[in-house]
Amino acid sequence: MPLPTVPASADRATGCGLAHLDLVLRPGPRGAPALLHASGELEAATADLLLGVVDSALQQGCIELEVDLADVTFCDVRGIDAVLTARAHLRAAGGELHLQQVQPFLRHVFRLLRLGEAVEG
C-alpha cells in the first residue's frame, strides 16, 4: 500500500505565546524516500507532532525520509532532539533521515553541537 499524503498541523500554547508547526508528508516516487515538509516552529510545544508523523510513516513501511526544513523559522533544543530521535527511529528500522534546505541558523546549531552529519545529505 503506498504512503498517502499526510498533512499535520499543531498550534500549541507556550509560555511566550502560540507555537505553530505544519507538516506535510508526501510519498516519493517508487523506490525514493518520502518527503516531509516542515513549516513553522519546531520546538517543545510542537516536537511531538514531528515524531508522530515519522512514527506513522514507519508504521506504513516508510524507512527513508527526506525532511525539508526550508520553512522552519525557529527550533529549540527539544526540536533538535525530535529530529535526532526521528533519525534514530528510522535507523533502527534500517532506514535513514536526510535533512534538506536547512536554514543557516539551524545548520550552525547542529555544527556547534557536533551534529553536522545530521544535516548533510
Q: What is the CATH number of the domain that holds 31?
A: 3.30.750.24
What's the pLDDT score for residue 121? 46
The model's confidence at residue 63, banded by pLDDT at 50, 70 and 90, is very high
In a domain, 1, yes or no: no
Q: What percent of the chain has pLDDT over 90?
A: 55
In a domain, 97, yes or no: yes
Cβ atoms of 99 and 70 closer than 8 Å: no
pLDDT digits (tens, 9 = 90+) for 89-116: 999 999 999 999 988 888 888 888 777 6
What's the pLDDT score for residue 12? 59
> Model pTM greater than 0.85?
no
In a domain, 41, yes or no: yes
**10: how many CB neighbours lie within 10 A of its CB?**
18
Q: Give the contacts of 69 (CB within 8 A, at least 6 positions apart).
A: 38, 42, 99, 100, 101, 102, 103, 106
Work out how many domains the chain is built from and give that number: 1
In a domain, 98, yes or no: yes
Cβ atoms of 67 and 38 closer than 8 Å: yes
Which residue range is the domain that position 73 belongs to?
6-118
